[in-house]
Amino acid sequence: MTSTNSDPATGALAIDTSICLHQADLPDEVITLCKGVRAKGKLLNNAADGSLRSAILDFAGEEQLEWPSCSGTLQLFVLKGVLIVDGNIIGENGFAVLPGAIAHRIVALSGASVVAIRDVLPEGDCPEAVYIPDCFAVDPFVPTINGRLLEGFERRVLWLDPRTGADTRLLKVPGGFAGGGPNWHPVNEEIFCVSGDIQPDDTRPMRTGSYLLNPARSIHGFDERTEGGCVLLEWHDGPWDLISAPGAERLSR
C-alpha cells in the first residue's frame, strides 16, 4: 500500500521518492471503494485523507456492484475479462468513468480484473459518464516533450476533467526508448504497466502488472528506459506537466 503525501503547495522539490509495486507481491484484501461499496482486490494507493485512490479489483465469479449517487467519481480500466457497466459492454483494455451524480450498475463477469481509480471531485456539475469498449479504438497522437516529438509513441487521452485538469491516458512506448533525464511533475502521477517492460531507474524495474507512484514535485527518471516497449495506463490528480531537472543526478546519489 502507498500513500500520496506530497504537497504541491509547499514549493519544495523532493529527490527520488517514487514507489514501485508489483501486482504479484501485493496482498489480497477487501477494498472499500466508498461507503458501503466493497470489492476484493489489491490496494495500490490511498489519497492524503486516507480514502481510496487506486486499486486492482479481482472478480472470481459473476458479481454486481452498485455505485451510489455520491460526490466522487469511479474510473475503471479493464485488464482482463468483461464488465457490463450501465448496460454497456466494456471488454479488455476498455474504460469507463462513473460520475457520482447518479447511481450506476456494474456487472463483472468471471475472471475480470480491473484498475479502479477513485476521484473525490469538487462541488459543481459532474462530468458525463464515459464508456469506451476498447481504448485502442481511441485516436492516438504523438506527444511532444520539451519541444521534442516522441516518434514511435502513441498517447490516447481517455478522460479529462475540465474542472480540475485531472486526466487519465494510455501511453504506448516503443522498444529501445531511453529517457531524457531527471524530471518532475506538479501533480501526483500514477502509472500501471498494462504490458511490456519499462523502468524509471535500475532500482525500479517494471513489468506487466507493475505500479509506479511519482509524487508531485519529486524528481525521478534518472535512467528511464525500455527494452521491448510497453503500454502504460497513467492518471494524474491535476494538470500534468513535465519539468526537466538537469544536474539532479548528483543529488540523488
pLDDT tens-place string over residues 103-117: 899 999 888 999 999
* Cell numbers standing for residue 130: 464515459
Give me the pLDDT at residue 126, please.
73
Contact 74, 101 (CB under 8 A): no
Residues in the chain: 253
For the segment 186-209, the average pLDDT, to the nearest whole number, is 96
Helix and strand numbers (H, E) in the chain are 1, 25
Task: Give me the residue label for grid cell 504490458.
Answer: 195
Q: What architecture is the 12-21+136-252 domain classified under in CATH?
A: Sandwich (2.60)
Give me the pLDDT at residue 61, please.
86
Rounded CA gap, 206 and 212, in Å? 8
Phi, psi of 244 (to 5 degrees): -70, 150
Contact 179, 242 (CB under 8 A): no
Sign of the C-alpha dihedral computed for residues 143, 146, 198 and 214 taken in this order: negative
Identify the helix (H) or strand (E) that includes residue 111.
Answer: none
Distance of CA 194 to the CA centre of its chain: 10
For the segment 138-151, the average pLDDT, to the nearest whole number, is 91
Distance of CA 172 to the CA centre of its chain: 14
Rounded CA gap, 198 and 204, in Å? 9
> Pick the residue with more confidence: 126 or 68?
68
Topology of the domain comprising 27-135:
Jelly Rolls (2.60.120)
Which of 211, 237, 215 lies closest to 44 in space, CA to CA? 211
- For the stretch 28-75, pLDDT in tens is 999 999 888 899 999 999 998 888 999 999 998 889 988 888 768 999
244 pLDDT more than 60: yes
Rounded CA gap, 72 and 209, in Å? 26
Give me the pLDDT at residue 122, please.
65
Rounded CA gap, 113 and 82, in Å? 8
Contact 67, 24 (CB under 8 A): no
228 pLDDT more than 90: yes
* Cell numbers standing for residue 109: 463477469
Q: Where in the chain is the domain with CATH 2.60.120.10?
A: 12-21+136-252, 27-135
For the segment 223-245, the average pLDDT, to the nearest whole number, is 95
